[in-house]
Amino acid sequence: MRTLLVDNYDSFTYNLFHYLSRANGREPEVIRNDDPAWRPGLLDAFDNVVLSPGPGTPHRPADFGLCARIAEEGRLPVLGVCLGHQGMALAHGARVGRAPEPRHGRTSAVRHDGTGLFEGLPQPLEVVRYHSLAVTELPPELEATAWSEDGVLMALRHRTLPLWGVQFHPESIGTQDGHRLLANFRDLTERHGRTRPGGRAGHGTLPPPAPARETTATTGTPRRLRVIAESLPTRWDAEVAFDSLFRTGDHPFWLDSSRPGGELGQLSVMGDASGPLARTAKADVHAGTVTVRADGASSTVESAFLTWLENDLAGLRTEVPELPFAFALGWVGCLGYELKAECDGDAAHRSPDPDAVLVFADRALVLDHRTRTTYLLALVEDDAEAEARAWLAAASATLEAIAGREPEPCPEAPVCTTGPVELRHDRDGYLKLIDVCQQEIAAGETYEVCLTNMAEADTDLTPWAAYRALRRVSPAPFAAFLDFGPMAVLSSSPERFLRIDRHGRMESKPIKGTRPRGATPQEDAALVRALATCEKDRAENLMIVDLVRHDLGRCAEVGSVVADPVFQVETYATVHQLVSTVTARLREDSSPVAAVRAAFPGGSMTGAPKIRTMQIIDRLEGGPRGVYSGAIGYFSLTGAVDLSIVIRTVVLSGGRLRYGVGGAVIALSDPADEFEETAVKAAPLLRLLDTAFPGREAPGKDLDGEPDDGTDAGAPKDLVLPG
């Protein structure tokens, strides 16, 4: 069966894609609701149509696009989901207005008539809802078939045409038997095809789908490279090793598991751009250029950065020895949030820093914290192995010389001159922005807005001294130090954005929901229970999990996207976190860079639906995020990728310090609590500067309702807060 899936610029469409592929035994064709190649005759190529969810209102032609005509004609069986359901009802005389309350990422027990879409499904049916609008009145030709416990219409059908709609989301991981509902739509299509004149549709011709890789053809013979490696038992401190080998080099970097242990703190990678094959690449999204420096000379090319990176990696053929980890040299650095302009976002603001900076690392050190083994890696081209071997020997000698040496003492607050910390939006301004977010949610424009603020100050803080203090104050599995010329990035991120191994296995671990550790075992257990059962935290987490499933699903093998485990409370030294894991397998016709493009920026830093919500963020925040909310990590020569979300991160450039903070705003959010959450998340910066958060109310109540004396009681010394 061939299905046309019309995407209303939603962030859950590819979840429907995978469910429909399973139900139909073949992949649906996906087009957007404003596809310029669309013409009505193309419907003859399909057996049925699914109209996706999406932001906005069906009353606005730009939000519903060509879906309106498809719904009006009723030529083929059509299933409308959420916005698709509302628009189809509107096209046939129903009224659509605001629901009694916005319901996003929240479950409901739905009663249904047990026929059609609901044949054989449980009664009641547990479903997930993402909507602020609803069908409020039906004409005689439309019939209600399901209702929620709060009396909102949840499904309908046309009495004479093959049209069905559901207000809830069958493709959400929280909806019961969503696969079976879509299989029922398939069966309804089969029955309609047997009864209508002419039988089932023939298969016409559609324009070819967009390529999985957005690349230009590479020319010339691929460069042939080889990685050589040596291993040593680790007998040196990581900080001392970086300081001795790389810190004073060109563009030094350190992907620093400063909180080693567990699944996420297994490796640290350090290096610089001092080797003979090293390069640096910087992106300027507004200019549409990439500037590459190699051998002391710079050249600028006109290209989207991710397209350029894809082509560069495609032009390398690298022989890699057997290593117990995925990193085998390659591109290391950061992708700024404004790179979203290459990933369906707008170029709304210009960052004062490059939109991406990567180092092509031809020499590096990897610390395997699991086995306490150090690996030295060097890249060789042609027969130039002697120089690489000489570096390995010199690096080994340096490590032996520092064996057992402890790091120099480090004050928590380095000596520096720093001006007052100022927020881009003061407390009153931020509270007003939260109110606007909730108005947008109530109007159906978005489900969740990850609103952020920027703390800034003049400073003469030294990057290395500051990072040494930060990694003690706020150790994290994805900490990083990037000293890239005029810009230095000091990160203590706990969150993985995307990992892709050399075999194409993908993993993302979105975090939404945090509680501090309790003072007693009983209090600790109570906090775990509160986090695990809090409807607001679970709703935030579910929305991002469904979004990440969609993002990975755009480049994933059909049926390979799995969200498991979800809503897991992970306990760390200072916090409990609500974490979910989404995995998938990369399609053969796709690539790691294409997967990053499909998922960037991380959904936990945007909200959903991603494209419309990023536009709202651009308008409300009124300035660039820069490195904050982007990604830090590597693109390995093995094809592997490992990137973190840039949170809990200090950026130093031009004598200024910037530190982003934010949180997810949903319909259930309390504005005062949201502002307090940004203050709590700024704890690493506040400790580093020995200062207070501007506009923070004290004394009062903290986020958990406990007395707050104005100190960081809700933000312990080793605080690592996600989100």
> Looking at residue 572, what is its pLDDT?
59
pLDDT at 351: 96
Same domain as 624, residue 533: yes
* Cα separations in angstroms, 693 against 427, 578, 675, 710: 10, 25, 11, 10
Task: Please count the CA atoms within 13 angstroms of the CA of 490 that sit on its side-chain side.
Answer: 25
User: Looking at the domain assignment, is residue 322 inside a domain?
Assistant: yes
Q: Summarize the confidence of residues 508-512 as an average pLDDT.
A: 91
Contact 388, 228 (CB under 8 A): yes
Residue 154 binned pLDDT confidence (cut-offs 50, 70, 90): very high
Coil, strand, or helix at residue 310?
A: helix
Which CATH number is 651's domain given? 3.60.120.10
Rounded mean pLDDT of the chain? Answer: 91
Q: Are residues 368 and 464 in the same domain?
A: no
Whether 412 is in a domain gets the answer no
Same domain, 108 and 228: no
Whether 346 and 246 share a structural domain? yes
Q: Beta-carbon neighbour count of residue 460 at 10 Å?
A: 12
pLDDT above 70 covers a percentage of the chain that reads 91
Query: Does 532 map to a domain?
Result: yes
Question: Is 65 contained in some domain?
Answer: yes
Three-state DSSP at 85 gives: helix
> What's the number of domains the chain is made of?
3
Could you tell me which residue, 214 or 189, shows the higher pLDDT?
Answer: 189
Q: Which of 73-77, 351-355, 632-636 has the lowest average pLDDT? A: 73-77
The answer to whether residues 168 and 132 belong to one domain is: yes
Listed in sequence order, the residues at least 6 apart from 17 whose beta carbon sits closer than 8 Å to its beta carbon are 5, 27, 28, 30, 553
> Cβ-count burial of 507 within 10 angstroms (0-12 exposed, 13-18 middle, 19+ buried)?
middle
Residue 573 has pLDDT above 90, yes or no: no
Mean pLDDT of 436-462: 97
Is 718 within the bounds of a domain?
no
Regarding whether 179 and 231 lie in a shared domain, the answer is: no
Shared domain for 562 and 684, answered yes or no, is: yes
What's the gap between Cα 432 and its chain centre?
26
Mean pLDDT of 48-57: 98
**Interhelix angle 535-553/13-24, nearest 10 degrees:** 60
Percent of the chain at pLDDT exceeding 90: 81
Query: Does the pLDDT value for residue 717 go beyond 50?
Result: no
For residues 570 and 681, membership in a common domain is answered with yes
Cis peptide before 565 (omega within 30 of 0): yes
- Indicate the range of 343-347, 379-383, 386-390, 435-439 predicted with least confidence: 379-383
Read off the pLDDT of each residue in 325-339 and give the average, rounded to a whole number: 98
Please state, as a whole number, how many other Cβ atoms lie within 10 Å of the Cβ of residue 64: 28
> Is 416 inside any structural domain?
no
Buried b (16+ CB within 10 A) or exposed e, 564-599: eebbebbebebbbbbbbbbbbbbbeebbbbbbbbbb
Of 86, 675, 20, 128, nearest to 447 (Cα)? 128
Q: Which domain holds residue 513?
A: 422-708
Structure tokens at 611: 């494209």
Strand (E) or helix (H) holding 341: none
Measured CA to CA, the distance from residue 491 to residue 478 in angstroms comes to: 8
Which residues are tagged catalytic? 82, 169, 171
**Position 218 in a domain:** no
Mean pLDDT to the nearest integer, 634-639: 98
Q: For the residues 507-513, what does the mean pLDDT come to?
A: 90
Q: How confident is the model at residue 196 (pLDDT cuts 50, 70, 90)?
A: low
Arithmetic mean of pLDDT, 39-68: 95
Q: Give the amino acid at 169.
A: H
Q: How confident is the model at residue 716 (pLDDT cuts 50, 70, 90)?
A: very low
User: Given pLDDT bands bounded at 50, 70 and 90, which one contains residue 218?
Assistant: low
pLDDT at 498 over 80: yes
Q: Which residue has the tokens 């609901």?
A: 118
Residue with tokens 């707008």: 346
HEC string of 594-639? Answer: HHHHHHCCCHHHCEECHHHHHHHHHHHHCCCCCCCCCEEEEEECCC
Collapsed DSSP state (helix, strand, coil) of residue 441: helix
Question: Do both 689 and 643 map to the same domain?
Answer: yes
407 domain-assigned:
no
Q: Which of 410, 399, 475 is nearest to 237 (CA)?
A: 399
User: What DSSP line would sit under 232-285, residue for residue?
Assistant: EE--S-HHHHHHHHTTTSSS-EEEE-SS-BTTTBSEEEEE-S-STT-EEEEEET
Assess whether pLDDT exceeds 50 at residue 418: yes
Q: Tell me, what CATH number does 97's domain have?
A: 3.40.50.880
Q: Are residues 371 and 503 in the same domain?
A: no
pLDDT at 516: 72
Question: Which has the minimum average pLDDT: 92-101, 316-325, 566-575?
Answer: 566-575
Residues 229 and 191 in one domain: no
Query: What are the b/e assignments for 209-235, b being 16+ CB within 10 Å?
Result: eeebbebeeeeeeeeebbbbbeebebe
Domain shared by 239 and 100, yes or no = no
Strand-pair partners of 143? 157
